[in-house]
Amino acid sequence: MKITMAHGSGGEETEKLISRIFAAHFQNEILDEMEDAAAVPGAERLALTTDSFVVEPLVFPGGDIGKLGVCGTVNDLLMRGAVPKYLTCGFILEAGTDAAVVEQAAASMAQAAAEAGVLIVAGDTKVVENAHEAGGIVINTAGVGFLHRDVQITPSGIRPGDCLILSGSLGDHHAAILSARMRIENHIRSDVGLLTEPVSILLGEKLAVHAMRDVTRGGLATILSEFAKRSGLTMRIRESALPVHPEVRDFCGILGLDPLTMGNEGKFVAAVDAADAETALKLIRDTACGREAVIIGEVTERAEVPVILETKIGGERVVTPLTGEGLPRIC
């Protein structure tokens, strides 16, 4: 079945699409009430976030747009130190999209939501015209997390001496998407995934985690630039410490890409008090998604430049945020 403009009319066809695909996969007590707004238990302090997801191809090695849509928003809540609780979900479908692809995305979302322990409590579907009836999907998710009164995790809380821990290898998602687009056959898989496990452990152990950020659009270079800007300090990292899988490194070499500006979808960088850094590293390494975690550098008082990379041959390179398109759009 192809999605048609009628599926976006708000009438009977919309209702059928919702009940057959979305309600069937997202089924839960709150969503089943089919209200325009869901009523849910709250908390004294909340974390709120939103993200829209566009990716081509919609299904790629390691995941699909549905998994991306849940992991991206859940990870944003985790990075703030919140416990993710609820998602809302807006589907924008181009007329001509195969309903089977929409269903696969919904199934992936449901699976990732269950894994993350969040409920999809409200949804919306719109259909937009597409000149070529080629089809396409944009998914917006907004997330609500419960935030403990005392949790203050934010780049402005970074302190000189903090260690910078990266939870794993760089560039996998970006390289996987580009490979799929360029029809290059390799074994590179997207790292799209939830950061729930390492983050809950770090927070559960009450380690001095000052800031966390998932390494998505713009890559590590952009995240560290933001850390520097928001804290007024300098981030100093070592090139030799940066984990990049050999196949991704080769792929980048051939295409002239820099893993520092490439996007990931299942990695984070944390600024942790030096006293707790080794413990934090060990705990992250004990999790399924953090086995390749490393300390990539330290925070220093503000130097001449905000982010410095010590190169493998002993030099220093200024790291700047991604500018221009840089790389083809992948998330």
Interaction residues for its own copies, span 109-138 (CB under 8 A) = 121-124, 126-129, 131-132, 138
Please report the sign of the dihedral spanned by the C-alpha atoms of residue 194, residue 168, residue 64, residue 144: positive
Number of other CB atoms surrounding residue 313 within 10 Å = 7
Q: Does 14 bind its own copies (CB under 8 A)?
A: yes
* Half-sphere exposure of residue 293: CA atoms within 13 angstroms, side-chain side: 28
**Which residues, 76 to 105, sit near its own copies by CB under 8 A?**
76-77, 79-80, 82, 86, 88-92
3-state SS, one letter per residue, for 114-144: HHHCCEEEEEEEEEECCCCCCCCEEEEEEEE
Q: Does 20 bind its own copies (CB under 8 A)?
A: no
Q: Which of 41, 21, 45 is nearest to 29 (CA)?
A: 41
Q: Does 57 bind its own copies (CB under 8 A)?
A: no
Q: Does 157 bind its own copies (CB under 8 A)?
A: no
Measured from the CB atom, the residue of 131 and 313 that comes closer to its own copies is 131
Q: Does 62 bind its own copies (CB under 8 A)?
A: no
Query: Rounded CA gap, 242 and 256, in Å?
Result: 17
Q: Print the binding letters for residues 296-325 with its own copies: x by CB under 8 A, - otherwise.
A: -------------------------xxxxx
Number of other CB atoms surrounding residue 126 within 10 Å = 13
Q: Does 263 bind its own copies (CB under 8 A)?
A: yes
Q: Nearest distance from residue 229's CB to its own copies, in Å?
A: 9
Q: Print the binding letters for residues 219-258 with its own copies: x by CB under 8 A, - otherwise.
A: ---x-------x----------------------------
Q: Does 327 bind its own copies (CB under 8 A)?
A: yes
Q: Nearest distance from residue 286's CB to its own copies, in Å?
A: 25
Q: Nearest distance from residue 63's CB to its own copies, in Å?
A: 18
**Which residues, 31 to 50, sit near its own copies by CB under 8 A?**
33-50
Cβ density class 182-211: b for 16+ within 10 Å, e for less: eeeeeebbbbbbbbbbbbebbbeeebbbbb
C-alpha distances out from residue 327 to 3, 233, 264, 323, Å: 31, 28, 13, 10
